[in-house]
Amino acid sequence: MASMQQEPESTPGVVPVHHRIADSIRAEIVSGRLGPNDAVPSAGELAAKWNCSVGSARAALDVLTNEGRIVGGRGRRKRVRPPVRRIRLTVDFTQQQKNLVLRPEEERAAVGTAELTAGVPIDRTHFTARYSVVPITPELAEEFSVPDDVEVLRRVYETLEIDTGLRIAWSTSYIPVSLISGNPDLLREDLEPWPGGHQHQLYTVGIEIERFVRSVTATEPTPADRARWGIDPGVPLMWVRSRSVDTDGRVVELSDATYPADRVDLVFTESLDRWPAGHQSYAKGS
């Protein structure tokens, strides 16, 4: 699903010509007059149209490139950025994962997170997991409400799309070792991918997840991040921290995942309590 774009505001005040050019092209992109993969005017064409220097025209194209609206350059014509594969994170996808926990192993093994969120079949992905037991940090001790001398299992997960070689999922998970010590298999990375994922792993030690609490921030990707994800200039990374809370109200797992901001839809539903039956009706003037 493509995200809706707000009507762009013009650059305020006395505006240099390169910003006026960028404002004009940006408005055409948002309105749809310039669509995905459409070529934008060259610096020479813009210079002639706006009666400005080629340097000012290039500066305008740089503004739009840094915003992530156009791509190309280095001998290639600048074009409106094409759509990318969407990653959709909803409350439904975590419920789907929970529903799988009680299903047979062959059914659990046939569905992965990338398939639920990005629509990529599990057989078109390459998955890796790296496990390590590390001392807890003060930040994690506060998150888990545990002493600062315990150990946590740190798990780094990466999923690549086979067809493109690009990353489609990456996360780091933390869980206190004491919570999963009842099943030694949960400390073995060679058993990944685990059919049914994290919720089934916790199920094997008697833990049921009741809710997830998530927070979202944005960060600037490094050059390495851009290469691994295939991120164009101007696109930030979204950093999503998920806290898995069990039926006893404990945070039992914490996961940090990153996603390019141009391809992730975070869908949240906030349910409100209904007014009581027989509540007072509104009457104008009362």
Whether 239 shows a pLDDT value over 50: the answer reads yes
What average pLDDT does the segment 59-63 reach?
90
CATH T-level fold of 17-80: Arc Repressor Mutant, subunit A (1.10.10)
Count of CB atoms situated within 10 Å of the CB of 22? 28
What are the φ and ψ backbone dihedral angles of 58, each rounded to 5 degrees? -65, -35
Q: Which pLDDT tens digit goes with each residue over 185-213?
A: 999 999 998 988 899 999 999 999 999 99
Average pLDDT over residues 146-153: 95
Tokens for 71, please give them: 């791509």
Which range has the worst mean pLDDT, 54-63, 77-86, 241-250? 77-86
Confidence (pLDDT) at 118: 64
Return the CATH fold of 87-266. Chorismate lyase (3.40.1410)
SS3 assignment, position 202: helix
* Average pLDDT of the residues in 234-252: 92
The yes-or-no verdict on residue 13 having pLDDT over 60 is no
pTM here?
0.71
Cα-Cα-Cα-Cα dihedral of 109, 113, 114, 119, to 10°? 90
pLDDT digits (tens, 9 = 90+) for 121-144: 777 888 899 999 999 999 999 999
Tell which wins on pLDDT, 2 or 248. 248
Residues of the chain with CATH 1.10.10.10: 17-80
Give the dihedral sign, CA 182/188/189/195.
negative
pLDDT of residue 67: 80
For the segment 83-97, the average pLDDT, to the nearest whole number, is 74
> Taking Cα atoms as reference points, which of 83, 78, 8 lies closest to residue 43?
78
Q: Give the SS3 label for residue 223.
A: helix
Which pLDDT belongs to residue 91?
Answer: 67
Contact 100, 115 (CB under 8 A): no
For the stretch 18-21, contacts whose Cβ atoms lie closer than 8 Å and that sit 24 or more positions apart, written own/partner, are 18/52, 18/56, 18/57, 18/59, 18/60, 18/63, 19/60, 19/63, 20/50, 21/46, 21/50, 21/52, 21/56, 21/57, 21/60
| Closest residue by Cα to residue 118 from 164, 174, 80 | 164
Closest CA to 236 of 260, 264, 217: 260
Q: Where in the chain is the domain with CATH 3.40.1410.10?
A: 87-266
Cis peptide before 82 (omega within 30 of 0): no
pLDDT at position 255 = 95
